[in-house]
Amino acid sequence: MKKMLSNPDFWRGAASIAVFLILWEIGSRSKQWMAPEFFSPFKELLGAMGFKKDYLPWVGAVPAPSAVLQSWIGVLGDAGYWQSWYMSFFRVMGGFVTAMIVGIPFGLMLAVSRVSHGIAFPVFEVLRPIPPLAWVPASIIFWPTQESAIIFITFLGAFYTIVINVLGGARSIDVRYFQAAQSMGSSRWDMFRRIVLPGTLPSIVVGSAVGMGITWEVVVAAEMISGGGSQIGGTSGGGLGFFIWNSYIGGSYEQIVVGMISIGIAGYASSEMLRWLGRYATPWLKTR
Amino acid sequence: MNRGHIVIDDVVKVYDPQGAAVLAVDHCSLEIEPGEICMIVGPSGCGKTTLLNAIAGFHEITSGRIVMDGEVLCSTEKPKSVPGPDRIVVFQNGALFPWKSNLENVIFGPVVQGKLARKDAIDKARAMLADAGLAGVERNYPGEVSSGMRRRVEIVRALMNDPKALLLDEPYRALDSLTKSVMHEALLEIYYKNKVTIFFITHDLEEAIFLGHRVAIMTTRPCKPKKILNVDIAHPRDYGVLTSKRFRELIEETNDAVHEEALKAFQAGEKEG
């Protein structure tokens, strides 16, 4: 803690967040200070550029951070808000862990076996460019519950990235390591266990970190589109994505921002946890 | 001492025989005595690594044969030898596994072969590392120690397999000349304790004459012995040899041959590596 306080980077970060919040506050309040006439030249200008004159984009339309904070304090005691956190985390972790369990062995199989690469890779490559969100209708039809549909979509978000990273990582292991292991009498299984697996670990860590980011992007959109599995816990059981959508429908604009920042924090916490696990799994890399 | 007798007999290697048909090794014959340090000198890209890969079993030969201690490793009929712990390669850029500690690297061979129990392997590795002055780096990862240390750990890892021959492929190429001279003495010290046949590839003539019993100067691609020099300086040697009169004479005797091939390689535009 003491170390953190004496680190200039910490203070730079704190100052940057503070300045951002102050500018945002000023921007949001600008509408109160400025007379509507003040904006009229801009409206004329926009009109000349071919836009509609009756709407001027202005940061004043976004709720101020002070109002957001107030609204946030309001929902902190609300079980529905925490239920949203829980639901989104549950879906992200469900999709992500499944993607690791399926994706890592699959990627390794593609890397190690030429036959399975030949059979499975073309199909994989055709499916990969399909964005997870394009799967929403199909998976709602296919999966028995909306919950499983959402988890499936988050799974897809992480799966492709993890597979591609594992495959690339396993393939870029220096051939010298295989030659050295071979000349020291390793069997094929030894080579896999002692060379391929640890050699791929750094790529697994990178792939997971990227995959985790994508899962958060995907889960929120899936919750919004599918109505958040609202039959589970009413409007409050829909996760953070549905929390935002619901706030928008209900006209509570401060809560929209509360939901957005909550996702930011949740994503950051997940990545930080993965980075920690990654450092733990690949201790030899810290020396580079 | 009669292990590690290697006979390279009329070996030819053609890369891409159906297409570009690059002749890398041309009817090369060379006999390496048991326990000899045989230095192979030639310009970069001359095909000497091809020869090493053929002995190690990483690449096929086109024709000829390589025999070690009466056992045919590879021949025209069986172009690729099976890599094994009797011939261990120490690579140009090093091949210690970065994810294993130095100690774990050193015990790798005996443990995967099931020759030693893990505990016995650790005991033996500790003793050998200590013997090579490396006791302090057991727990470190290879990435945490200097490149000179890494090379020594790698040689210890090779010797743990009790090989008949060590195949060294320009192991000190990336080191600065001061570290190099330290490494040379360290290698000789290890060699005096473990008289093993050493097949050592380099493009550094001084290194070759300092270390070797014999120095084979190779022609540039296609590769075959151009001149074989007997280094009549008695072992054990130390760095004092470098300033001796005989050492200088031997350099003078061979310098022209090496330079001639280097010039040919340069004019042919051979890629380094």
Class of domain B1-83+163-172+199-273: alpha beta
Assigned token pair, B104: 């774990």
Instruction: Tell if the CB–CB gap between A184 and B57 is shorter than 8 Å.
Output: no
Distance of alpha carbon A180 from alpha carbon B158, whole angstroms: 9
Q: Which residues of A touch B166 (CB under 8 A)?
A: none
Quick check: B89 and A201 CB within 8 A? no
List CB contacts (< 8 A) between B57 and chain A: 182-183
Instruction: Give the CA count within 13 Å in the CB-facing half-sphere of A148.
Output: 7
pLDDT beneath 70, residues of chain B: 1, 270-273
On the 0-12 / 13-18 / 19+ scale of CB atoms within 10 A, A32 is exposed
Chain B hits for A195, Cβ within 8 Å? 97
Domain ranges, ordered by start, for chain A: 1-62, 64-283
pLDDT at A234: 46
Touching check for A2 and chain B: CB below 8 Å? no
Report DSSP state, residue B117.
Answer: -
A281 interface with B at CB cutoff 8 Å: no
Set of chain B residues whose Cβ sits within 8 Å of the Cβ of A182: 57, 83
How does DSSP classify residue A115?
H
Contact at 8 Å (CB) between B11 and B25? yes
**Is B39 in contact with B101 (CB distance < 8 Å)?**
no
pLDDT at A201: 94
**Of B155, B197, B204, B198, whose CA–CA distance to B175 is shortest?**
B204
The pLDDT tens digits for A88-116 are 999 999 999 999 999 999 999 999 989 99
Is A35 touching B (CB cutoff 8 A)?
Answer: no
Domain ranges of chain B: 1-83+163-172+199-273, 87-162
pLDDT score, position A55: 64
Residue in chain A closest to B169 (alpha carbons) equals A176
Interface test with B, best of A172, A173, A175, A184 (most B CBs within 10 A): A184
Give residue A200's pLDDT: 94
Using CA atoms, how far apart are residues B45 and A24, in angstroms rounded to an integer? 63
- pLDDT at residue number B273: 46
Residues of chain A with pLDDT under 70: 1, 35-37, 39, 53-59, 227-237, 287-288
DSSP string, A52-86: -TT----GGGSPPHHHHHHHHHHHHT-HHHHHHHH
For the entire predicted model, the pTM comes to: 0.82
What residue type is assigned to position A243 of the chain?
A: F
pLDDT, tens digit, for every residue of B143-169? 898 888 888 899 899 989 888 899 998
Residue of B nearest to A281 (CA): B99
Rounded Cα distance, A262 and A254, in Å: 12
Among residues B233, B268, B228, B261, which one has the least CA distance to residue B249? B233
CB–CB contact B89 A179 (8 Å): yes
Give the residue from A173, A179, A183 with the most B CB atoms within 10 Å of its CB, the best one to mutate.
Answer: A183
How high is the ipTM of this complex? 0.87
Which among B88, B91, B157 is the nearest to A176, CB-wise? B91
What's residue A261's pLDDT? 92
| B89: nearest CA partner in chain A | A180
CATH architecture of A64-283: Orthogonal Bundle (1.10)
Identity of the residue in B87, B143, B157 whose CB atom sits nearest the CB atom of A287: B143
CB pairs under 8 A between A and B: 66
pLDDT in the model for residue A237: 59
A182·B89 Cβ contact <8 A: no
